Amino acid sequence: MTEQRERELICRAIDQRFSKKQGDPRLAKQIIEIEKGDIKMKKKLSLAMVLAIIALTIAVTALAVITIKEVGRQIAENEKQQGYFVNWELEKKIKLISNLADLQYIERSDEVSGLIKGSLTEQEAHEAANDIIASFTGQDVDGIGFMSIMQVPMGSVENWTYEEKAWYSTLMREVGIESDGMTQFVQPSGRISEQEAIAIARREIAKGYMVLEDELDRYRVSVDFEIPEAAESGNKQAYWHVRFEAPEDISEDERLFILFPVYIHPDNGSLLWSVQDMLSIPDSGE
Amino acid sequence: MNVVKGPDNAREQELKRLVDAYQTSLLRMCQIHLQDSALAEDAVQETFLKAYRALSSFKNEGSEKAWLMKIAINTCRDIRRSSWYKYVNRWVSPDDLPEEASRGDVSNEELSSAILKLPTKQREVIMLFYYQNMKLADIAGILGIPLSTVSGRLGRTRKKLKALLERSDQDD
């Protein structure tokens, strides 16, 4: 094949592939305007670039989530081996503080930097680490454990999502801090939604106390999805755990109870323990 | 090409002539180089902007085409060096999909796909030699490499594409 023929074939293949891609008739005018400063040069954002930006954003977000959960695992494992933070080896204390600083939950103050760099004696380093974590959690260092630390970056456990609570239970089980017989939070499943579970609990409590459902309007409601710790051994069925809690400003005479928990089956809406049964237990709910 | 040192209007006319003459072929070359339509458009705009700024200093020693190609290749290389370019996976880019394909164009599509999959250095040589119809000496000047290197790259690339070229030839 001649060189000329090769050229024809290659040019034809390229022209055909990019035949829709024609020059912009306004290009010369745009360049003159850019040069005169009338318009700014605009970079086009390709679809590939947009996808890359989205992918990077997701990756960075995912990385942060994974990392704080990895920190959680680190704390749980240390706690399993050595108890509360105050009893940890220095190396483990420094690693945790360094990770929290990397995640920007702890400011890299001179004290933190000095600790991480290893410029303190062992005694000084222990004291600095204890001070830093006490300040971070706002608690006395003697009682600082997994929850004290993790609730700072993740917020109050009461506000954790179902996914976060399920992660916590799984982690505790995997690390060996909690075992069967303890409450296991799991991801919600079944036909009954959270709102339906609350409605069932409200109706059943009102019926059990023989009051109108409106009476429960003042009570604070919280919900979990869990395998109850009080369930019979071997029963792995998860339930909606709906709690009605009396507000602090309600008098003893007025209130029906301080706290009333109801467990609702997520598929059929039945109660694990009926309100009547619970009320028949002496001092139930108080 | 005329050396333009006159008033702005003359430079503007010269720019318009260059854009009309080379825009489409530069765009396709940049697209093959960068494998991204939007970046190729940026590269062409940048190329002509650089050319416009340098019009008055352009010396009529070589061809204007070789001059523009050199600017375009360097611009594409700059873009390829950017961190964003490295991050994007070109091979899954929708820009890489054939824009026009029909049953009768299979060999053309295979050939253009094969060119797109060549290493960058071989793609540069193929585009300049075949698509821009440039002499080996000019290509050596544009790419800043010895003539023997250009010749070697061209020979190796030709071998890679030989079977597809023959098939395209037979399909004609």
Q: Please check whether residue A45 touches B, CB under 8 A.
A: yes
Q: What tokens were used for A252?
A: 């003893």
Q: Least CB-CB distance to B166: which of A1, A7, A32?
A: A1
- Residue-wise pLDDT for A97-154, tens only, equals 999 998 889 988 888 988 988 888 888 999 999 999 999 999 888 889 999 999 999 9
* Predicted pLDDT of residue B104: 45
- Write down the residue that tokens 């179902």 correspond to: A162
Q: Do A21 and B108 touch (CB under 8 A)?
A: no
Q: Where are the domains of chain A?
A: 60-167, 184-280
* Predicted pLDDT of residue B94: 41
Q: Burial letters for A128-156: b for 16+ Cβ neighbours within 10 Å, e otherwise?
A: bbbebbbebbebebeebbbebbbebbbee
Q: Mean pLDDT for chain A?
A: 85
* Predicted pLDDT of residue B119: 86
Q: Please check whether residue A5 touches B, CB under 8 A.
A: yes
In chain B, residues with a C-beta closer than 8 Å to the C-beta of A28 are 12, 15-16, 19-20, 48
CATH number (3.40.50.1000, 1.10.1740.10, 3.30.930.10, 3.50.50.60) of B1-92 reads: 1.10.1740.10
Please provide the size of chain A in residues.
286
Give the model's confidence band at A208: pLDDT under 50 very low, under 70 low, under 90 confident, else very high. very high
Distance separating alpha carbons of residues B128 and A121, to the nearest angstrom: 67
In angstroms, the separation between the Cα of residue B144 and the nearest Cα of chain A is: 23
Q: Least CB-CB distance to A31: which of B31, B39, B45?
A: B45
Q: Please check whether residue A80 touches B, CB under 8 A.
A: no
Q: Where are the domains of chain B?
A: 1-92, 103-172
* Predicted pLDDT of residue B101: 42
- Residue-wise pLDDT for A63-108, tens only, equals 655 578 999 999 999 999 999 999 999 999 999 999 999 888 998 8
Size of interface A-B (CB pairs under 8 A): 135
Give the residue on B whose Cα is nearest the Cα of A45: B38
Regarding an ipTM greater than 0.85, the answer is no
* Predicted pLDDT of residue B100: 45
B116 touches B32 (CB < 8 A): yes
In angstroms, the separation between the Cα of residue A263 and the nearest Cα of chain B is: 50
Q: What is the mean pLDDT of each run of 10 residues along chain B (172 residues)?
A: 60 90 91 85 91 79 82 88 56 45 61 86 91 91 89 90 79 68
* Predicted pLDDT of residue A93: 94
In angstroms, the separation between the Cα of residue B150 and the nearest Cα of chain A is: 16
Angle between helices A90-102 and A47-82 (to 10 degrees): 160
* Predicted pLDDT of residue B35: 82
Q: Least CB-CB distance to A31: which of B24, B48, B115?
A: B48
In angstroms, the separation between the Cα of residue B34 and the nearest Cα of chain A is: 12
Domains B1-92 and B103-172 share a fold: no
B165 touches A1 (CB < 8 A): yes
Q: Least CB-CB distance to A13: which of B89, B92, B108?
A: B108
- Residue-wise pLDDT for A180-200, tens only, equals 557 789 999 999 999 999 999
B20 touches B8 (CB < 8 A): no
B47 touches B68 (CB < 8 A): yes
Q: Do B39 and A46 touch (CB under 8 A)?
A: yes
Q: Least CB-CB distance to B36: which of A10, A27, A48?
A: A48
Give the residue on B whose Cα is nearest the Cα of A14: B112
Nearest to A64 by CA among A96, A104, A106: A104
**Per-range mean pLDDT, top range of A6-20, A150-164, B2-16:** A150-164
Distance separating alpha carbons of residues B50 and A254, to the nearest angstrom: 83
* Predicted pLDDT of residue A96: 93
In chain B, residues with a C-beta closer than 8 Å to the C-beta of A12 are 108, 168
Q: Do A24 and B38 touch (CB under 8 A)?
A: no
B24 touches B7 (CB < 8 A): no
As a CATH number, domain B103-172 is 1.10.10.10
Q: Which amino acid, residue A269?
A: G
Indicate the range of A52-66, A259-273, B98-112 predicted with least confidence.
B98-112
Residue A171 Cα distances to A177, A239, B93, B131, angstroms: 9, 20, 39, 61
pTM: 0.48
Backbone angles phi, psi at A98, to 5 degrees: -65, -45
